[in-house]
Chain A
Amino acid sequence: GAGVSQSPSNKVTEKGKDVELRCDPISGHTALYWYRQSLGQGLEFLIYFQGNSAPDKSGLPSDRFSAERTGGSVSTLTIQRTQQEDSAVYLCASIGTGGRGYTFGSGTRLTVV
């Protein structure tokens, strides 16, 4: 597609439930990042996929968070047993060649009640 697509755009879930957030990067982009933006905070790095290399998971805040990227394209971020502090906007970004920088999706706003 023309841009990075994220779904759903909004998600309200009950504490303790699992959620899945999806990211469709720009076709052909080999690198994909997940970030989150909590209220009043800057963007926080979560995880980075680059081609077939092992992902950089150093930003995941706990073992309740996991992500996968299937076929080098679509990525899913899963949060198990959600907590209220998980409420944030989760942003996906992809990058290709040509030095144009990252392209961000519009994000998924997650609210845990």
Chain B
Amino acid sequence: AQSVTQLDSHVSVSEGTPVLLRCNYSSSYSPSLFWYVQHPNKGLQLLLKYTSAATLVKGINGFEAEFKKSETSFHLTKPSAHMSDAAEYFCVVSDAGGTSYGKLTFGQGTILTVHP
């Protein structure tokens, strides 16, 4: 069985300050982990993914995440928030590693608000 916990339902930051969205997972397998972003009235967009290669993963729009097996965490960070980053973010775990994709389990989502 696998599960994902996003520790914060809402995060609010000021433009130009760092962003930290926390995610912890559990998986019986070597997991694949993803972060997706959903802007209002838009489809989900892949930010980045971890599939047992480098533990520090760089994604689009300046986001990155670090896979820490000892902490079962995959927190999403960005050094400097932009107004356009305001959206809902989902941490996702898959029970299949490598390039084969299994069933996804989604976290509950974190709404990021960016203040001017």
The chain A residues found within 8 Å of chain B, CB to CB, are 3-4, 31, 33, 35, 41-45, 48, 56, 59, 91, 93, 95, 97-107
**Minimum distance in angstroms from B8 CB to a CB of chain A:** 14
With A101-B34, A101-B49 known to touch, is A45 a contact of B103 (CB < 8 Å)?
yes
Q: Is the interface of B mostly helix, strand, loop or mixed?
A: strand
Quick check: which of B13-21, B39-47, B64-72, B76-84 contacts chain A, the rest being far away? B39-47
What 5 pairs between A and B have smallest CB-CB spacing? A43-B106, A104-B44, A106-B43, A42-B108, A99-B99
With A101-B46, A107-B43 known to touch, is A45 a contact of B51 (CB < 8 Å)?
no
Residues of B within 8 A of A103 (CB): 46
Residue in contact with A104 in the complex, picked from B43, B49, B101, CB distance below 8 Å: B43
- B63 CB–A CB distance under 8 Å: no
B108:A41 contact, CB within 8 angstroms: yes
Residues of B within 8 A of A4 (CB): 43
- B26 CB–A CB distance under 8 Å: no
**Minimum distance in angstroms from A26 CB to a CB of chain B:** 12
- B36's nearest neighbour on chain A, judged by CB, is A104
B42:A33 contact, CB within 8 angstroms: no
A103 vs B90: C-alpha distance when bound (angstroms): 14
A56 vs B45: C-alpha distance when bound (angstroms): 24
Residues of A within 8 A of B44 (CB): 91, 93, 102, 104
Residue in contact with B90 in the complex, picked from A43, A95, A100, A105, CB distance below 8 Å: A43
With A41-B108, A43-B90 known to touch, is A101 a contact of B42 (CB < 8 Å)?
no
**Minimum distance in angstroms from A8 CB to a CB of chain B:** 14
- B104 CB–A CB distance under 8 Å: yes
Residue in contact with A91 in the complex, picked from B41, B43, B108, CB distance below 8 Å: B43
B43:A45 contact, CB within 8 angstroms: no
**Minimum distance in angstroms from B2 CB to a CB of chain A:** 11
**Minimum distance in angstroms from B42 CB to a CB of chain A:** 6
- A100's nearest neighbour on chain B, judged by CB, is B46
A35 vs B38: C-alpha distance when bound (angstroms): 14
| Most chain A beta-carbon contacts within 10 A, residue among B43, B49, B92, B105 | B43
A56 vs B67: C-alpha distance when bound (angstroms): 29
